[in-house]
Structure 1
Amino acid sequence: MRYLVRDRMFAFHEEAWIETEHREKLYRVNRKFFRLRRTFALVDTSGERVATIVRKAFTIHHTLLIKQDGQPTAKISKKMFKLFGDRFKVRLGDGRRLQVNGNLWDREFDIRHEGTTLAHVSRRWFTIRDAYAVDVLSEQDALILIVLAVCVDHTIQDAKGDQLTNL
């Protein structure tokens, strides 16, 4: 199934909507800024928190922790210096390790487990909104795969912002 993640570029507190391919809104990502860490809350249309994404402070690698019902579900880390191979390390709560492969700069990548593609993420640019599609091939893991796609996107976006401020 295809899901669309639409960022509101001019929103006051940065939010994104996750919709089905038929434009039915499912989840909203609220990005709140804190001094030492950043927290994202993924809520459904009724306002119930479905997942929390916390950027861990004081780590060597850019690390995000994903929690559902207060329990850690996944941990995703961006490797600082990597010339070849995976740039992201993903470990799920059930012990599985996922790979993120593809053109990360252009947001065209796959999330894989043991060579099997679980989701394909494709970036699309619109005139006012920034959007990308997450094609989920494993419906049982749909929510966590969407959250991982959002994490990778925001990590890359933050890295680009850091490079622009260092110029």
Structure 2
Amino acid sequence: MRFQIREKVFSIGDKFTIKDQFGEDRYFARGKVFSLGNKLYLEDMQGNELIYIEQKLLRLLPEYTLYKSDRPIAKVKRKFSLLRPKFEIESELGNFTVSGNYMAHEFSILKDETTVAKVSKKWFSFSDVYGLEVYYDELTEFLVALTIVIDQILYDKSNRN
């Protein structure tokens, strides 16, 4: 299944709309305003929280924890690297890695060496817009949340480390 993840430009706090390949709204992500560090909620269209994303503070490089039903399900850390962004992703869903080009505008998400999703960021759009192609439906919510975390780490001004 394919999705479009678009960050809203003129909003207070981070806000993303996620549409499916048919242009229908499927998910919404909103950031908590006036908080220390990034805190985002991935919700279905009825407003039910699916995944809560929280940035860990006082880290040399950005680190996020993903929660489902108040239980941590994954930790995403940016690793020090000179040439291209690298991530460490510890998850109860399996071992994930991110592989992509130098600017991380095109990357794949792999689980145990198998590509589970491909992500492509539009180069010349006014806001952050990603195409996300998910190959395993049972991982959809996690992969949408992970793509948002990667965007926050790479492109959010408060994460420029």
Q: TM-score, normalised by structure 1?
A: 0.85
Residues 14-93 of structure 1 correspond to what in structure 2 (within 5 A)?
A: 14-79=14-79, 81-83=80-82, 87-93=86-92
Deviation at 1:154, TM superposition (A): 1.2
Paired letter, 1:29: A
Distance verdict in 2 for CA 1:11–1:84, change over 3 Å: closer
Distance 2:59 2:150 in 1: 17
Q: Is the 8 A contact 2:62 2:159 kept in 1?
A: no
Distance 2:135 2:14 in 1: 28
3-state SS of the aligned residue for 1:153? helix
Deviation at 1:130, TM superposition (A): 3.1
CA-atom RMSD in angstroms: 2.2
Distance 1:118 1:99 in 2: 10
Q: Is the 8 A contact 1:86 1:99 kept in 2?
A: no
Decide which of 137, 141, 144 is 1:143's aligned counterpart: 141
Measured against aligned partners, the alpha-carbon deviations of 1:34-80 in whole angstroms (never above 9, x if no partner) come to 4532201111111111110000112233110000110111110001x
Distance verdict in 2 for CA 1:59–1:128, change over 3 Å: closer
Aligned-pair identity (%): 26
Distance 2:55 2:96 in 1: 19
**What are the ranges of 5 or more consecutive residues in structure 1 without an aligned counterpart?**
none
Q: Is the 8 A contact 2:27 2:42 kept in 1?
A: yes
Paired letter, 1:82: S
Deviation at 1:84, TM superposition (A): 6.2
3-state SS of the aligned residue for 1:155? helix
Distance 2:69 2:120 in 1: 29
Deviation at 1:114, TM superposition (A): 2.6
Distance verdict in 2 for CA 1:47–1:120, change over 3 Å: same
Q: How many residues align?
A: 161
Measured against aligned partners, the alpha-carbon deviations of 1:14-52 in whole angstroms (never above 9, x if no partner) come to 311011011111111111244532201111111111110
Distance 1:131 1:30 in 2: 15
| Structure 1 consecutive aligned stretches of length 4 or more whose deviation exceeds 6 Å | none
Q: TM-score, normalised by structure 2?
A: 0.88
In the alignment, what sits opposite 1:122?
A: 120
Distance verdict in 2 for CA 1:113–1:85, change over 3 Å: farther
Distance 1:143 1:93 in 2: 14
Distance verdict in 2 for CA 1:35–1:142, change over 3 Å: closer
In the alignment, what sits opposite 1:133?
A: 131
